[in-house]
Structure 1
Amino acid sequence: MENSSYADALLADIVRAEAKTGRLYIFLGMCPGVGKTYAMLQTARQRMKEGVEMLAGIIETHGRAETAALLEGMRMLPRRKLEHRGFMLEEFDLDAVLLQRPEIVLVDELAHSNAPGSRHAKRYQDVLELLDAGIDVYTTLNVQHIESQVDIVRQISGVTVQETVPDSILDRAHEIQLIDLSVEKLLQRMTEGKVYLGDRAEEAMSGFFKAGTLTALRELALRFTAERVDRDLEDIRRARRISSPWKTNARLMVGVGPSPHAESLIRWTRRAATRLNCPWLVVWIESSPSLSTQDQERLTRALGLARKLGAEVISATGENVAEALLRVARERNVTQIVVGKPEKRLWWRASLADQLIMGSGDIDICVVRPAASAEKKSGTGPRELLPVSVIGEYSWALVSVFVIASLCWGIAPHTGYMFVALIFLIAVVLAALRFGRGPVLAMATLSALCWNYFFIPPQFTLNISKAEDWIMFILFFIVALSMGSLTSRLRMREVAERRRASQTDALLRVTQGAALSADPAKGLADALRCINELLHAHTALVIRENDRSLPQAAHPASSFQPSAKEWGVIAWSYENKQCAGCHTETLPESAATWFPLQTATATMGVLGVHLDDETRLDFATRQMIEAFALQLALVIEKEHFVQAFSHAEVLAQSEKLHRTLLDSVSHELKTPIAVMQASLEAMEDIQSPYLTEMRTATRRLQRVVDSLLQMTRLESSALHAHHDWCDLRDVIADAQQTVGAALETHPVRLHIADDLPLLKIDFTLLAQALTNILHNAAVYTPPGTEIDLHARLQDQRLRITLRDHGPGLPPGAELRVFDKFYRAPGSPAGGTGLGLAITKGFIQALGGRISAHNHPEGGAEFVIEIEPISQLTPPVERVFQLVPNE
């Protein structure tokens, strides 16, 4: 059966084996110098004594001798060298770690910013990729680098921290260890030169390292760790179904806009949601005309921060911000709204906080004082010029007043000056239907002054003596303000509705074009053309193959073809299911922004959008592109399912025939083989080379038949594990004996922990699995090469590692070696290619998993992990039970 078949792709998408995700261990401190790196290295050396494979990815000793001493004897990763502006920079080599795949890698300074040219802008993104690859990571972090704590740290120390990590990284941590040190001891270490050296130490003690600042940072670190413990305790209580009086169903919401305080409010809400362990929302209300470039960038940055911190971001429209926020809050069952404290109150207008309090009802309003913004302290920068459309409206208003005044000058002696006032007033009303509030107010002011100066007796003065003239004069401004405000609201609503209708129409056109077209290729071409017209951009679509690999060229409907450099970005976005490229923090030097076509079951490809150099990818545009990507992904997935379903019945019949043939052939061969073996045993006393060859061929044929029977049992789901107490040494000895003569020229070196307890496991299944791996190692390695077998308990899991010293696995064969009937190029003659496939089935029946890769020092290495292990109290000491995952 071919791997590229639709059924295999569909089965791999829906019933994919759960990949091992790496664990993150964070050593948290209040500031530099408390001993985070030292504690991390001590823990790493202790794990090395337990046999754990450790790699020091990047360690910053800062010239501390005691820290450098702990690196002796530890495998170090060479740093990657990058040239930037004539300087040679050294960075963490992510690709080298992914290639070596150690059990644990040490990555110091999690908040570090990578040098330009690196794959990721931040080191924590490197760590996330390592975790997704199944590699455990030890790392260090100071509390002031946590994104939600930035405002508090700025208030404490007066320093704005630029290198930060999102709080979601800490949510992924398996363990956070607080490295605490008293302020007195830390200052003593500073004086002794154990934190910074030379002039740098004196600058630190006169600046950041003050007793008051350090005390506040220590309290912040302790509080943050305590909140983490509270959340862990609540998770335990919830898992054990223990009722808790402090259990909460709170939901927080904060409204943001293009304000310098928006990021501060978002961080405050994140901290509050963390303490309450509840979901939180960030809402943006579109209630004003189009934003300036500076405001748009500020809003995009704030909403991007909210998404990075784990908030659900919602956009809504409304004429009144307070009413829109309350409407969203009631729709989303929000219990508490966070709003910033107004800096000053205006007697003629209620603040946003006051409006929310008056209309909130049973929703709590939390009014907080946002931290001072660094942007506000440094000024808002140069003012932007008025847009051309606004200048044109003011010009038309002024010209209109001049024309009306000229025309009325000739008719005023015949009609009277009150008729002129009505003409001016009608012109203001008509202008209000076309222009904005500012131009209308300017026109009303100029019209009132012209009417007063040129037409009200006495002319050419600004004196008004009659009450009715005063009323008409004031009426100009009342009409201008009311009509201008009404027109502005209607225009804002019209623009918002037109934009929303345009987006909805484009989304509908994309969906209809791609989903309803009889020709899938033409449908995708129509969809991409709609996206290009709406965004004024160029797009490229890369659809995965049926074997889940990416093609070497973009879809023919693409309006631009990716360069060779872009394909690396495409592959990363596809593999990691994240946006990458331009306007992102991952590979930002790319020319386009790449969005994965992600559905609930699989990633169907990647969509690339190349915007003009002057166009920025703001939050609204990004949301729109993500919606397009989702629709394209669903359409492609539907087509994939349709094609797979059309092959399903044929493949099902083929599988049924395949199993029937395997079962019948294996059973039909059992009797002749048994007769042959009995005959050969009867002639055991006869010494003949022909009989020796027959015995070898019979054993080989028996092994083939056993493999066919075992594969039939696996595919028919008739295999069940039967657990009993056994010694792993006995299991390994039985496997060696079963392999027999094939191991005579391959010494097997056993490395089994002395304290390995008895295990409750299926003796036969594990022995047969080890037999197949040992036989595979004996067949595919030259005579005389050794085989190493390690076994130990690690994190309550049985871990068995078997490594040969042969040529290793061919490139790309790490996963295919477990496929049925797969034989690597250059394999010896004979064999069915079922041994490792059967081994994988046995290990899965035991509730474990098996993987294969090449050892960095040569040879192939197979790793078996069986979990979970729960300790019991049998008649002997140190006994664990291994049972399959439920």
Structure 2
Amino acid sequence: MKPEDERPNPDALLAQMQRQQSQGQPGRLHIFLGMCPGVGKTYAMLQAGRQRAKEGVNVLAGVVETHGRHETAALLEDLPVLPRKRLDHRGFSLEEFDLDEVLRRRPQLVLVDELAHTNAPGSRHAKRYQDVLELMDAGLDVYTTLNVQHIESQVDIVQQISGVTIQEKVPDSLLDRAHEIQLIDLSAEKLLQRMAEGKVYLGERAEHAVSNFFKEGTLTALRELALRFTAERVDRDLDDIRRVRRVTSAWKTNARLLVGVGPSPYAESLIRWTRRAAARLDGPWIVAWVEKSAALTAAEQEVLTRALGLARRLGAEVVSLTGDDVAEALLQLARERNVSQIVVGKPDRRGWGSSLADRIIAESGDIDVCVVRPVMGREGKIRVVTPAAVSASQVEGYSWALALTFILTSLCWALLPVTGYTFAALVLLLGVMGAGMRFSRGPVLAMATVSALVWNYFFIPPQFTLHIDEPEDMLMFGMFFLVAFSMGHLTTRLRQREEAERRRQRQTAALLSVTQSAALTAESGKGLQEAVRIITDLLQAGVSLVLRQGDHTLSTGAHEASNFQPNKKEWGVVGWSFDHKQAAGRFTDTLPESDATWFPLQTATSTMGVMGIRLGREVKMDFTMRQTVEAFALQLALVLEKEHFIQAASRAEVLEQSEKLRQTLLDSVSHELKTPLAVIQASLEGLREEAGASSPYAGEIATATERLQRVVDHLLQMTRIESAVMQPSLDWCDIRDVIQSARAAAGPALNGHPLRLRVQDDMPPVKMDAALMAQALANILHNAAAYTPEGTAIEIRAGIEQGCLRLAVRDHGTGFPGESALRVFEKFYRAPGTPAGGTGLGLAIARGFVQAQGGRINAHNHPEGGAEVVIEVDHSPHDLPDH
């Protein structure tokens, strides 16, 4: 016995089986990884592909870039090469990988070079790695090549090492799905030698590469990066093996990382750093962003959406928080989620107050804080929002603020002889507070400044000057300025927070209304119509629903509740989203030229359809809107799944009642037929005695009676099996006696078929119910005789193999047609093309008798011809009786 801690973990095995079932056995991915171009990745991939082809695997060279290398091109000679697909783009003819042709051919293995390649406009996917994902989802194995600088989590390090901006990236989540990553290693010295010999690049391209990227120091650093990445991958694989094979693993870590991001050009660098750290620690990681009360500009929203999209591609859990205190919100989330490390960026410069990193370090307590130096993204250097960019709404706010200041100043000037100049200060201060409830921060602060200066110039003695004589007036003016600024800032902040809360409340109310309208409405069609109306009002967008039909295929038209119909181009996007369970269309990397964005209505068990959102051309889908749409899609999917389960339960209840009624009728009919059959058989014997053997009808009556008797016996036996009243009586018996009993029970059906018996010479006794096994074997023999031409032999082989009795019956007919071998044990099933007669119960009864004794039975076509039915019963020699 193994120690307890060495036994396989049942939970891990179950999780692995569930993942395999949910993925539908996807194809395997083999990545040939190198530190840079020229190390021999394509050459190694082609060699491996040729070797698989020699083993009999159907290999197709989907797309291979030889770059003029003759040694590489020579390896393509014996492989089928896929022709490139031509695409027209702005008057130019471009060649690309033909994904649809590969899916049509369905080879066992596809060779796809340059995984990080960007596809030409007009392709189904923006990136080649997305083509590879679709091939894997279709069940095809893929060999591909990749350089370490194209791995998303390594981009920042490569840019620091080489100074080269990396444009083409592959998410780490794809590498996590790889079955094998093979490192193609080459020293920097040998690679530079290959460059000098013209085996990497030719002409000016080679000179440019040597002077920029291909430097010995850069290549050595990239080599170390590739080696480290591969080593981390091997370490994670070993951890997975230990986790599956042990109940508890000594290497299991509780590390959980959290990184907070915002609309900053450093956000993507922080996310990549955290992904690398999480991979090294083999722990989960969270990316959080704190939504403040102040609304983001369009440029800031675009930067944030890009960063959070990167986090999702890299496999992070993205969490949205609310609050104006970023440090407090992040620390609260860290404590709630048991985070072990918080990742923050190092501040550029020291300000007057404490930075975000300082506050988190001071208040983190037992949580570790990693302060890292992020790299500014390329977009951050380009997208600069200047203060001069003032929107039309801000201009309007400044105008109203100045107008209000003028009106209040005029009013106070008119009342000055009666009230004095102190009253004017209070009125102007009240106006600043009122403006804070209506306008944004800029106009309010401008109004506070102007109000303070106006009060000084027009009201404080000496008037019409900015000079103040009395110390108390000077103090009053300073207090007015501070109070106006503070009140204006606080009221503006309060108003913005109120607007943000109102916006979130509106989204939550809409989500609740969608759930209630779809789930609680008596008619599902009206419920979906109301749900679509609510989503349309909230998003100000067109909504279309394409639901799944009863046969689990997608409907050919949009649901009647939809307010727009997909065009012909959209249907391809709809089908792809449904089949791959991923969002597609506009604002995604899959078919982004579509007019709408399509989200699968996906639950944990099935896909209930697809929902399309069509926004205006000037509107962009930011991360918050996408989260809202995905929440709507999930709720609708759950409601549709619930209705599906209710309908299925109703149908199952009807079928159960029908089955009970059918079983009762069969039971009663079969019992009622026994007495008339006995009378017919007795009368037939008397008729034979009186009329003699020469009677022309006696033989026909006898054959029909035997056939009817066999049908009644089958019905009674099936009733015993399904009613669970049959209790096998297991005892040690000789298999030869069982076979003889089965031969006698099969009757005259075997007269025209020679029976060949092959029993193991030293066959021991086997523990079974001899009567039930003989009847099961008789049904199999009768079936073999009925469906094979007269004169063909039937073979019976019996022996002990690998600890079990193996009893095989083989005929020499045409075998099972098509896929009928998988269904011959179903009740009332008769293979297509079989002769008339029979009930289709013989083999079903045989299966019931065998399974009642703990045995197994299966059917298949024999490699040398004919059909074969095999019975297996476990046999333990230690339990044999003493002789």
TM-score range, shorter chain: 0.7 to 0.9
Contact map agreement 1:433 1:483 (CA 8 A) in 2: no
Contact map agreement 1:251 1:280 (CA 8 A) in 2: yes
1:232 maps to which residue? 237
Q: Secondary structure at the match of 1:350?
A: coil
- Hey, what's the Cα distance between the residues in 1 that align with 2:559 and 2:57? 46
- Hey, what's the Cα distance between the residues in 1 that align with 2:299 and 2:657? 64
1:511 maps to which residue? 515
Q: Secondary structure at the match of 2:600?
A: strand
After superposition, where does 1:850-869 map in structure 2 within 5 Å?
A: none
1:266 maps to which residue? 271
Report how far residue 305 of structure 1 moved: 0.6
2:815 maps to which residue? 775
1:108 maps to which residue? 113
Distance verdict in 2 for CA 1:261–1:759, change over 3 Å? farther
- Hey, what's the Cα distance between the residues in 1 that align with 2:538 and 2:462? 59
Q: Does 1:558 align with 2:598?
A: no
Report how far residue 36 of structure 1 moved: 0.7
- Hey, what's the Cα distance between the residues in 2 that align with 1:383 and 1:480? 23
Contact map agreement 1:14 1:601 (CA 8 A) in 2: no
2:281 maps to which residue? 276
Distance verdict in 2 for CA 1:661–1:298, change over 3 Å? farther
Q: Does 1:201 align with 2:206?
A: yes
1:583 maps to which residue? 587
- Hey, what's the Cα distance between the residues in 1 that align with 2:363 and 2:397? 37
1:452 maps to which residue? 456
Letter in 2 for 1:264: S
Deviates more, 1:427-436 or 1:444-453: 427-436
2:29 maps to which residue? 24
Letter in 2 for 1:419: F
| Residues 481-535 of structure 1 deviation map (CA, whole Å, 9 limit, x = unaligned) | 2212321331222112101110111011111111111111111111111111111
- Hey, what's the Cα distance between the residues in 2 that align with 1:849 and 1:196? 60
2:96 maps to which residue? 91
Letter in 1 for 2:123: S
Which residue of the other structure, out of 230, 251, 256, is the alignment partner of 1:251?
A: 256
Letter in 2 for 1:531: I
Q: CA RMSD, aligned part only?
A: 4.6
Deviates more, 1:275-284 or 1:101-110: 101-110
Contact map agreement 1:704 1:831 (CA 8 A) in 2: no
2:618 maps to which residue? 614
Report how far residue 773 of structure 1 moved: 12
State which structure, 1 or 2, has the greater radius of gyration over its C-alpha atoms: 2
2:223 maps to which residue? 218
2:607 maps to which residue? 603
- Hey, what's the Cα distance between the residues in 1 that align with 2:22 and 2:290? 43
Report how far residue 317 of structure 1 moved: 0.5
| Residues 804-848 of structure 1 deviation map (CA, whole Å, 9 limit, x = unaligned) | xxxxx9xxx999999998999x9798799989x99xx99x99999
- Hey, what's the Cα distance between the residues in 2 that align with 1:14 and 1:647? 29
Which residue of the other structure, out of 40, 49, 61, is the alignment partner of 1:44?
A: 49
Report how far residue 666 of structure 1 moved: 13
2:635 maps to which residue? 631
| Residues 94-144 of structure 1 deviation map (CA, whole Å, 9 limit, x = unaligned) | 222222222221111111111222221111111112212222111111111
Runs of 4 or more above 4 Å deviation: 13-18, 242-246, 381-384, 653-669, 703-718, 738-744, 758-765, 770-774, 813-824, 826-835, 844-852
- Hey, what's the Cα distance between the residues in 1 that align with 2:578 and 2:821? 20
Q: Secondary structure at the match of 1:775?
A: coil
Contact map agreement 2:581 2:602 (CA 8 A) in 1: yes
Distance verdict in 2 for CA 1:304–1:405, change over 3 Å? same
2:173 maps to which residue? 168
Deviates more, 1:376-385 or 1:518-527: 376-385
- Hey, what's the Cα distance between the residues in 2 that align with 1:133 and 1:851? 27
Q: Does 1:426 align with 2:430?
A: yes
Which residue of the other structure, out of 289, 302, 313, is the alignment partner of 1:297?
A: 302
- Hey, what's the Cα distance between the residues in 2 that align with 1:73 and 1:848? 45
Q: How many residues align?
A: 757
- Hey, what's the Cα distance between the residues in 1 that align with 2:859 and 2:205? 51
Contact map agreement 2:398 2:443 (CA 8 A) in 1: yes
- Hey, what's the Cα distance between the residues in 2 that align with 1:16 and 1:359? 46
TM, length-normalised to structure 1:
0.76
Letter in 2 for 1:35: G
Report how far residue 242 of structure 1 moved: 7.8
Which residue of the other structure, out of 236, 239, 246, is the alignment partner of 1:241?
A: 246
Q: Secondary structure at the match of 1:389?
A: helix
Deviates more, 1:592-601 or 1:417-426: 417-426
1:858 maps to which residue? none
- Hey, what's the Cα distance between the residues in 2 that align with 1:851 and 1:112? 46
Contact map agreement 1:445 1:476 (CA 8 A) in 2: no
Distance verdict in 2 for CA 1:379–1:317, change over 3 Å? closer
- Hey, what's the Cα distance between the residues in 2 that align with 1:487 and 1:194? 69
Report how far residue 68 of structure 1 moved: 1.4
Which residue of the other structure, out of 640, 644, 647, is the alignment partner of 1:640?
A: 644
Letter in 1 for 2:506: S
- Hey, what's the Cα distance between the residues in 1 that align with 2:95 and 2:835? 49
Distance verdict in 2 for CA 1:39–1:476, change over 3 Å? same
Report how far residue 431 of structure 1 moved: 2.9
Report how far residue 645 of structure 1 moved: 1.0
Q: Which runs of 5+ in 2 are unaligned?
A: 1-17, 682-703, 729-757, 760-779, 790-799, 862-883
Which residue of the other structure, out of 492, 497, 519, is the alignment partner of 1:493?
A: 497
- Hey, what's the Cα distance between the residues in 2 that align with 1:41 and 1:286? 50
2:15 maps to which residue? none
Q: Secondary structure at the match of 1:470?
A: helix
Which residue of the other structure, out of 131, 152, 156, is the alignment partner of 1:151?
A: 156
Distance verdict in 2 for CA 1:202–1:707, change over 3 Å? farther
Q: Secondary structure at the match of 2:815?
A: helix
Letter in 1 for 2:431: A
Q: Secondary structure at the match of 1:525?
A: helix
Q: Which runs of 5+ in 1 are unaligned?
A: 1-12, 676-696, 721-729, 745-757, 781-808, 853-886
Q: Does 1:285 align with 2:269?
A: no
Distance verdict in 2 for CA 1:250–1:653, change over 3 Å? same
Distance verdict in 2 for CA 1:665–1:343, change over 3 Å? farther
- Hey, what's the Cα distance between the residues in 1 that align with 2:194 and 2:334? 51
